[in-house]
Structure 1
Amino acid sequence: MQITFLGTSSGVPTRSRNVSSVALRLPQRGELWLFDCGEGTQHQVLRSELKIGQLTRIFITHLHGDHIFGLMGLLATCGLAGNTTRVDIYGPPNLEDYLQGCRRYSHTHFSYPVQVHVVQPGVVYEDDEFIVSCDRLHHRVTTFGYRIAEKDRSGRFDIEKAKSLAIPPGRVYGQLKRGETVTLLDGRQIDGKDLCGPTEVGRKIAYCTDTVYCENAVSLAQDADVLIHEATFAHQDAELAFQRLHSTSTMAAQTALAAEAKQLIMTHFSPRYAPGNPIEFKDLLSEARAIFPNTQMAYDFFSYEVPRRRDL
């Protein structure tokens, strides 16, 4: 699981930072998931090592332009490329109306199925490997944060030990790999857990933007390996943050601390903190680290490989 930041500015793009979009690459299944799709996201994908043909799912937090203005262009390009088989899009109410309006007035036809799913708090997607859930955040419009949880997997199956116990290969190996107890033809009962290494604990990622500090963000990020959280303002500008329902660097850090997350990566920074201003991006990082030391500041094209628990 590799996270790549395609846009880390809030509101408007700058010369060095595009607006919001985060990619999650799942190499084990050859898929790419996007979280938000601000203007210019497809250009950012082209400048990265990501493959647009692997895009299968897009999760939208809310309908502000800096989070969705790149969506229609990206979908149109996927159709012209001709190698996209299906895209599922998840987001708040009116997202489908927005896309239908764009298609109608631009006369754009998708050559592949596009399915829009209106999300509500709870599970929005699940398969054999992942559960994606969402909850409401506290912003000026209906906004959702997302939690991506990889399911736990059985530990490595010890084939040599199975052979030493004279367990015949075949379907029984699959049952034992899943940790099941199997009765062999000779009457022996074999517990699959005895033949498997430690359970591989699934990784967890939380994506929370846009929002002022709220308990739902803490719940989404509970025990997360990575919390991606907006930090639009410096602590000094907390009053602005409350007025506009955005977070400060210290709010992001407090969320990570309360959730007992392993890693905080801040994004969605106001351009007012660009180098040369009285308060700079580095100051936001220092503020957050004073509360939650394991904090990083995202920049465009920054990639982060989410480690497995056994690697920590």
Structure 2
Amino acid sequence: MLIEARNLTKRFGDFTAVDGIDVQVHRGEAFGFLGPNGAGKSSTMRMIGCVSPPSGGDLRILGMDPRTDGPAIRARLGVVPQRDTLDEELTVEENILVYGRYFGLPRALVRERARELLEFAQLTERAGAKVEPLSGGMKRRLTIARSLVNAPEILLLDEPTTGLDPQARHALWDRLFRLKRSGVTLVLTTHYMDEAEQLCDRLVVMDRGRIVAEGSPRSLIEQYSTREVLELRFAVDDHAPLAAAVDGLAERVEVLPDRLLLYTDDGDAATAALHQRGVEPLSSLVRRSTLEDVFLRLTGRTLVD
């Protein structure tokens, strides 16, 4: 067990950011914390990263206690913060070289790792370029490459693709898949449901500092949702009064400000039944259930609330 938390708690004055959670992360897996901003994900990651002491509970990382073994743990971790902290006055390669020296690694070793990591991040051709003009995706890949200079056993990624366009996100996912295959344990936070489904072997869903569900993305969807969802939009400002018009057409109905969600195993059949009733929405969409639907079922709100 690389990470084990029991009743882990983090308080800031009277505010409890992390409220007694239990977490276990196994070697070689990709483990995620899914939830909206303010759910307690980043506070949990900061405790795992040994930069914020727990307020209560027990936490063991690599078999050690972060309260007493912080430096030894940090030496074996890689950390990708939510916002890039690159030195934009240095070149791409220099960012890795300087960072590697913080770990007391020999210059020759750091230089060799920098070459390998730039190749891994697909930045070899940019090695001598300054960081400032790089695209957001390139900067994010450089941040990940830099975090790997000490050959960490665990890589912590806090919202790794926030602000990136779809192409850059997929390029970053590919790099993370490769890392996982090489044996690096990934621990990440995200509020993107597709990212969690793509990257995580297991995850916990967090809401207001607590864990409300745990499992693989597929098992959570199977447990808490239906195979398909029919999304209906009507030309009204308030969709709540229209819930009665679709009563009985699905296992359950969620009313959101801008649409109705009908949870069913056959969205096309529900659509046909809707038309038979003479109900004509402005638009309709049948899609598969996602972790967003799991979160809505568990908390009554969406991930972007």
Q: TM-score scaled to structure 2, two decimals?
A: 0.26
Greater helix percent: which structure? 2
Greater relative contact order (CA < 8 Å, ≥ 6 in sequence): 2
| TM-score, normalisation: structure 1 | 0.26
